[in-house]
Amino acid sequence: MRTNLIFFFFVSMIILTGISKTSFAQENETKGEGAKVSNIHGIEVKDMDGKAVKLSDYKGKVLLIVNVASKCGYTKQYTGLEAIYRKYKDQGFEILAFPCNDFGGQEPGSNEEIAEFCSSRFDVTFKLFDKIEVLKNKAPLYAVLTDNPVTGTEDIKWNFEKFLIDKEGNIVSRYKSKVTPESEEMTSAIERLLIKK
CATH number of the domain residue 163 falls in: 3.40.30.10
| Average per-residue pLDDT for the chain | 87
Q: How far apart are CA 46 and CA 131, in angstroms?
A: 9
30-58 pLDDT tens trace: 334 455 778 999 999 999 999 999 999 99
Q: How many domains does the chain have?
A: 2
Claim to verify: residue 94 and residue 171 sit in the same structural domain? yes
Tally of CB atoms within 10 A around 67: 27
Claim to verify: residue 63 and residue 149 sit in the same structural domain? yes
Q: Which residue, among 59, 69, 48, 169, has the nearest Cα to 111 in the 3D structure?
A: 48
Claim to verify: residue 105 and residue 59 sit in the same structural domain? yes
Claim to verify: residue 112 and residue 137 sit in the same structural domain? yes
73-129 pLDDT tens trace: 999 999 999 999 999 999 999 999 999 999 999 999 999 999 999 999 999 999 999
Would you place residue 70 in the very low, low, confident or very high pLDDT band (cuts 50, 70, 90)? very high
Claim to verify: residue 28 and residue 108 sit in the same structural domain? no
Question: What are the φ/ψ torsions at residue 138 (nearest 5 degrees)?
Answer: -55, 130
Task: Choose the weakest-confidence range: 16-30, 50-64, 74-88, 148-162.
Answer: 16-30
What's the domain range around 126? 44-195
Query: Per this entry, what is the length of the chain?
Result: 197
Claim to verify: residue 2 and residue 75 sit in the same structural domain? no
- End-to-end Cα, the chain, rounded Å: 64
Residues 43, 68, 72, 165: which is the catalytic one?
72
100 is catalytic: no
Would you place residue 3 in the very low, low, confident or very high pLDDT band (cuts 50, 70, 90)? low
- Indicate the pTM of the whole model: 0.82
Q: What percent of the chain has pLDDT over 90?
A: 78
